[in-house]
C-alpha cells in the first residue's frame, strides 16, 4: 500500500448539505489529487495540489473546493451537495510532476447525495 | 496530454498471454506511456511505464512501437485476478497529473 487513506469510505448525505472528504498520506509526497469517477467515464480531475496551500482547478472543479494546510492532508469540500455530485471520489499522490512519475491512488470514497 | 485509443473490452482465457493495444498517434517526443489498471471496487493501480524502449517488471511488459504511435501491454500469463479495466495514459509531465480515458475492460475466462 502507498500509505493513502481516504475517509469516509462511504457517505450518504442530503442535497444542500456541506460535505468534506479527507485524503491522508504518510509518504510526504508533494503532489496530491482529487478525481471523481462516474459510470461511463474514466477518472476526471477535480482539483490538485502542488504543495501546502498551493492548489489549482482541474477539469470538473465547479461546486468543489479544496484545502491543504499540511503536507499529509488534502481535503475536498462540497459546499452544498447536489445529486450530480453522487460519485466515487479517488485521491492520488505523486512524488514529482515529471512525466515518468507514477501516481498512487486511495481506495475511494463512495458518496451518495439524496 | 495527447489522446489515446483503446478497445472498449477484450476477453482472454486464464493462463494465456494477453496483449492489450493502445494507439497514441499524436504522442510528443517527451510523453511517457503509462499503464494503470483498476480492479473492481478499488482505486487505479500503477502497472508500468516507458518512453521508447520496451520495459518489463514483475506485473507486465510494455512493448512500444518504433515510431511510438502505439504500444502494447502484455500480461504473460493471465489469472482471474487480472480482470480489470486497463488504462493507457500519456504523461508529458506537469503538476496537473494524469488524464484518464475509458480504458479497456479485460475479461478473463476460467
Query: Nearest C-alpha of chain B: how many angstroms from A88?
Result: 10
Q: Give the distance, in angstroms, between the CA of residue B31 and the centroid of all CA atoms in the same chain.
A: 14
A31 contacts in B (CB within 8 Å)?
Answer: 95, 97
Q: Which residues of A84-108 are buried (b: 16+ CB within 10 A; e: fewer)?
A: ebbbbbbbbbbeebebebbbbbbbb
Q: If you average pLDDT over residues B49-64, what whole number do you get?
A: 95
Query: Nearest C-alpha of chain B: how many angstroms from A40?
Result: 7
Q: Which three cell numbers stand for residue A77?
A: 469540500
pLDDT tens digits, A45-102: 999 999 999 999 999 999 999 999 999 999 999 999 999 999 999 999 998 888 889 9
- What per-residue confidence (pLDDT) applies to A1? 56
Q: Which three cell numbers stand for residue B82?
A: 487480472
With beta carbons less than 8 A apart as the criterion, state whether B89 and A42 touch. no
B100 contacts in A (CB within 8 Å)?
Answer: 35, 42-44
- What per-residue confidence (pLDDT) applies to A2? 66
Q: Which three cell numbers stand for residue B72?
A: 502494447
- What per-residue confidence (pLDDT) applies to B94? 85
The C-alpha cell 444542500 sits at A16
Which residue on chain B is closest to A30 by alpha carbon? B95
B93 pLDDT above the threshold of 90: no
How far is the C-alpha of A27 from the C-alpha of B14, rounded, in Å?
36
Smallest Cβ–Cβ distance between B95 and the set A50, A90, A102 belongs to: A50
Amino acid at each position: 500500500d502507498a500509505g493513502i487513506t481516504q475517509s469516509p469510505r462511504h457517505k450518504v448525505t442530503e442535497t444542500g448539505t456541506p460535505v468534506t472528504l479527507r485524503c491522508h498520506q504518510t509518504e510526504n509526497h508533494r503532489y496530491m489529487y482529487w478525481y471523481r469517477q462516474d459510470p461511463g467515464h474514466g477518472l476526471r480531475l477535480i482539483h490538485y495540489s502542488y504543495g501546502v496551500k498551493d492548489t489549482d482547478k482541474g477539469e470538473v472543479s465547479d461546486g468543489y473546493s479544496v484545502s491543504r494546510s499540511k503536507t499529509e492532508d488534502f481535503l475536498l469540500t462540497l459546499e452544498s451537495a447536489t445529486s450530480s455530485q453522487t460519485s466515487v471520489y479517488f485521491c492520488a499522490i505523486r512524488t514529482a510532476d515529471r512525466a515518468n512519475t507514477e501516481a498512487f491512488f486511495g481506495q475511494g470514497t463512495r458518496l451518495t447525495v439524496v | 496530454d495527447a489522446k489515446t485509443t483503446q478497445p472498449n473490452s477484450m476477453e482472454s482465457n486464464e493462463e494465456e498471454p494477453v496483449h492489450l493495444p493502445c494507439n497514441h498517434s499524436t504522442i510528443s517526443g517527451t510523453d511517457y506511456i503509462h499503464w494503470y489498471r483498476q480492479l473492481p471496487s478499488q482505486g487505479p493501480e500503477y502497472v508500468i511505464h516507458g518512453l521508447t524502449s520496451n520495459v518489463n517488471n514483475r506485473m507486465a511488459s510494455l512493448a512500444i512501437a518504433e515510431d511510438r504511435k502505439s504500444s502494447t501491454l502484455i500480461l504473460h500469463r493471465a489469472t482471474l485476478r487480472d480482470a480489470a479495466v486497463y488504462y493507457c495514459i500519456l504523461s508529458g509531465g506537469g503538476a496537473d497529473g494524469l488524464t484518464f480515458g475509458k480504458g479497456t475492460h479485460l475479461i478473463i475466462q476460467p
